[in-house]
Amino acid sequence: MKAKRVLAMAVTAITAAVCIGASVQAPATAATKYKLLWSQEFNNKKPGGLDPKIWDYDLTDGYGWGNSEQEYYTNSGRNVRVDGLGHLTITARRLSDTDPILDHCFTCTYTSARIKTAKLLGFRYGRMLARMKLPTDNGTWPAFWMLGASLANGGTWPESGEMDIVETRGSAPNMVQGTVHGPGYSAGNAVGSGYYAPNPVSNGYHTYGIDWLPNKIVFTFDGRAYFSVTPADVRGNRYVFNQEFFLILNLAMGGEFAGETDPAVKTAVMSVDWIRYYSINGQGKVYKH
């Protein structure tokens, strides 16, 4: 989606064309073997917080994360929780005109949440999937993405690498986008493509994912492959995706990608049914820190 320092990507800057149907080879074949290595099912019987052995919080930096975003990230249960009904929910809530947050965050109009597995859990290769219902209210920018683990240990972006498994924006409710960022191909020069879903993605739950192998990443929507990346696609730059990455989920509001928020939108919800990670023919590893 966007690394902490810089990311201002517009749809017109995506280097690959939007796909209406699958235009790359499907990642699964009859001979492919998948093994579940890790999952989050969010089946807590009571509403509550996240597992601190897996999830940490990115709290707001007060500067829109380099993208002119308008949310203030918190670790409050009002913004992120397991709902007791089988889902993780991230909820953006519009601030009142008298909220104390406005005293030190002059661009903020919502509270929201951004969670990560950095320094707790990492992954290398394999199939990463999430079944989610994403909001399409004006100004919403939900994302399920990954950053290179080196970033959490003193590395820099975009050298660390970034894989945006999915990001959407409310002004294009049918559009699903997958993107990679690395040295020489970041922000507006990122390598990515889109898939036009038959209906707005807020109409129901869909499965977003990648099949990630050495020197190849295939992006999928409901099991349909729509875009792939190999070293040949990064325009002669360094391919940085053969290393450990960690997960991020967040719901941003506004910014250079999502556009203006609508004052009529008081809340917006990103609902995650599950996250599942599989090896592919033995390729795939979970790192526990």
Q: Which residues are catalytic?
A: 162, 167
Integer Cα distance of 51 and 42 in angstroms: 10
The residue count of the chain comes to 289
The tokens describing 206, both together, are 């869909």
Eight-class DSSP state of 222: T
SS3 231: helix
Amino acid at 5: R
Q: Do 219 and 16 meet the contact criterion of CB atoms below 8 Å apart?
A: no
CA atoms within 13 A on the CB side of 92: 32
Taking a C-beta distance cutoff of 8 angstroms, is the pair 150, 256 a contact?
no
* Distance separating alpha carbons of residues 215 and 166, to the nearest angstrom: 20
Residues 6+ apart with CB under 8 A from 63: none
Question: In which element (H, E) is residue 257 found?
Answer: helix 255-258
- DSSP code at position 283: B
Q: What angle do CA 280, 282, 288 make, to 5 degrees?
A: 95
The string over 169-191, giving b where at least 16 C-beta atoms fall within 10 Å of a residue's C-beta and e elsewhere, is: bbbbbbbbbbbbbbbebbbeebb
The C-alpha atoms of residue 71 and residue 148 are separated, in whole angstroms, by: 24
